[in-house]
Each structure stands twice: as structure tokens, then as C-alpha cells.
A and B are shown apart, each in its own frame.
Chain A
Amino acid sequence: DVKVTQSSRYLVKRTGEKVFLECVQDMDHENMFWYRQDPGLGLRLIYFSYDVKMKEKGDIPEGYSVSREKKERFSLILESASTNQTSMYLCASRDRGANVLTFGAGSRLTVL
């Protein structure tokens, strides 16, 4: 069964801390995505990567960066976490040109 694994289901961090959210997929997919989900706002795309070392900004990239050094791993980085980054973060992957996104279970981040 195909799988997208997010390293942490729940994290609590303090304002100003550097935060890494890790996502690993075992499907050899080229495309990987990071979304955040907030009540009343749905899923919003932060960044996506269409290949190793390639990335593009999504709709809300401010305050975030990403890293894709290996095909299977896509990391979301909050350089200096702020309280407005408290959210559910969802990672997804997709084979290039394929129709279906596979999502991870999500990482709920709380920034105090």
C-alpha cells in the first residue's frame, strides 16, 4: 500500500523556534506538496516540489521554506515560528502526470 508518512502527529513549539516538519513517501513520486489547513479556510498550498532540489511557491509561502534533497523526502521549515503558524500541516505526493494525490495523516503544530 502506498504511503506518505509525516514524522510527527503533534508538535508544540515556542515563538521564535526553528521548526522542521518532515514528510517521506515510499512511492517514488516526483511531485510533493505541503498544505496547511485552518478552520473556515480549507487547505491552502504553501509550497510544492516537482523534483529533487526543485521547488515552487504555492499560495501562502510567507514564513516558510522547504527542502527536497532526496526524492522521497520533503521538509517544511519554519525559520522562526509564530503563533499564527499554529495549524494542521498536510503533506502529499503525486506521480508526475498522474491524477491522484496521496496525503499523509497530518501534523498538528501549536506555537505558544
Chain B
Amino acid sequence: DAKTTQPNSMESNEEEPVHLPCNHSTISGTDYIHWYRQLPSQGPEYVIHGLTSNVNNRMASLAIAEDRKSSTLILHRATLRDAAVYYCILRPSTGANSKLTFGKGITLSVRP
């Protein structure tokens, strides 16, 4: 299974943009890139996903490198509520019953 690599932690200031990187150099052509986040004392929740093109939704933006070997989750204006662990995972598009493997994620701290 293709793996992802993320830094252990990042810090940001409130109301500033945050760029969370993820490397997935062994990604296959049919893998989707997914991001989840886990707020304290809660289960993870879906944030965004993409295949090749950049994606935007109400929570965040996802920028995918042209070679697809890395991606960046962008929070346009960080709030204190965005402090969480963010997971970047790969989901194969083939094999509808594929397992989904999470890593350690990146812990985002937001300073007031």
C-alpha cells in the first residue's frame, strides 16, 4: 500500500493561512488523496479529497502537485478551532472494499 509522510507538528497564528504538507511519492495513478482531521476528544472527520486537480470546499483547499507525489492542505484563515491532528491518506479507486490506512498525522497548533 502506498504510504504518506507528514511532519509531526506545525504551529500557526490565528487568522493566518496554514499550509499542511504531505508526501506520497509512491502514489499510484488511481489513488485518491484524502484529508481528515481529528479534534480533541473526537473521532476523525472528513475534510477534503482530490485526484489530480486542486479542490476547494467550505473547510479547506487541497493543492495537488503536478506529479501527484505531494499535496498541501490549505486552511485560508486559521482559527483556534482548527487546532487538531490532520491526516493525509491515500484511497485506491480500484477495489471498492479497500482498507484505509492512517499514519500519525500532523498536529496543528494555533496561537491566538
Measured CB to CB, the residues of A under 8 A from B are 4, 30-31, 33, 35, 40-45, 48, 50-51, 56, 58-59, 90, 92, 94, 96-97, 99-106
Across-interface contacts of B45 in A (CB, < 8 A):
103
**Contact across chains for A33 and B100 when beta carbons are under 8 A apart:** yes
B44 interface residue, CB < 8 Å from A? yes
Residue B104 at the chain A interface, CB threshold 8 Å: yes
Overall SS of chain A's interface? strand
Could you list some 15 contacts between A and B, CB below 8 A? Answer: A30-B97, A43-B44, A43-B102, A45-B99, A45-B100, A45-B101, A48-B99, A50-B97, A58-B101, A90-B44, A99-B32, A99-B49, A100-B46, A103-B45, A105-B43
Q: For the complex, is B103 an interface residue (Cβ under 8 Å from A)?
A: yes
Residue of B nearest to A40 (CB): B104
Chain A residues lying within 8 Å of B96, measured Cβ to Cβ, are 96-97
Contact of B43 (CB < 8 Å), options: A41, A48, A96, A106: A106
- Total contacts A-B at CB 8 Å: 58
Interface size on B, residues (CB 8 A): 21
Interface residues of chain B: helix, strand, loop or mixed (majority) = loop
Given A43-B102, A45-B101, are A99 and B34 also a contact pair (CB < 8 Å)? yes
Residue positions of B touching A, CB distance < 8 A: 32, 34, 36, 41-46, 49, 87, 91, 96-97, 99-105
* Whole-angstrom CA separation of A33 from B43 in the bound complex: 13
Q: Is the CB of B104 within 8 A of A42?
A: yes
Q: For A105, give its contact among B42, B101, B102, B104 (CB under 8 Å).
A: B42
- Chain A residues near B100 (CB, 8 Å)? 33, 45, 94, 101
